[in-house]
Amino acid sequence: MERVDINGQAVSRSASCENLVKTVLRIIEQDFDGDTLIHIAIIQNEEYIAKSMISMVSILDPELLDIPNFLLQTPLHLAVLVRSVELVEILIQSGADLGCRDLHGNTPLHIASYHGFDNIVVCLLKYASVLPVINLLSRFGADVNARDGKSGKTILHHAAEMGNTILMDYILQLPGVDVNSQTYAGQTPSSLARGRGFLDIWTTLRKFGGKDRGEIDDT
List pLDDT tens digits, range 169-197.
Answer: 777 877 788 999 999 999 999 999 999 99
* Per-residue pLDDT, 1: 46
DSSP letter (8 states) at residue 103: T
* Per-residue pLDDT, 159: 83
Task: Assess contact for 166 and 121: CB atoms under 8 A.
Answer: yes
List pLDDT tens digits, range 143-169.
Answer: 678 777 778 888 889 888 888 776 787
* Per-residue pLDDT, 127: 76
* Per-residue pLDDT, 215: 86
Q: Which residues of the chain have pLDDT under 50?
A: 1-13, 130-131, 138-141, 219
* Per-residue pLDDT, 130: 41
Residues 210, 34: Cα–Cα separation, whole Å? 42
The full 3-state SS of 131-199, as one line of letters, equals CCHHHHHHCCCCCCCCCCCCCCCCHHHHHHHHCCHHHHHHHHCCCCCCCCCCCCCCCCHHHHHHHHCCH
Domains of the chain: 8-93 (1.25.40.20), 98-210 (1.25.40.20)
* Per-residue pLDDT, 144: 76
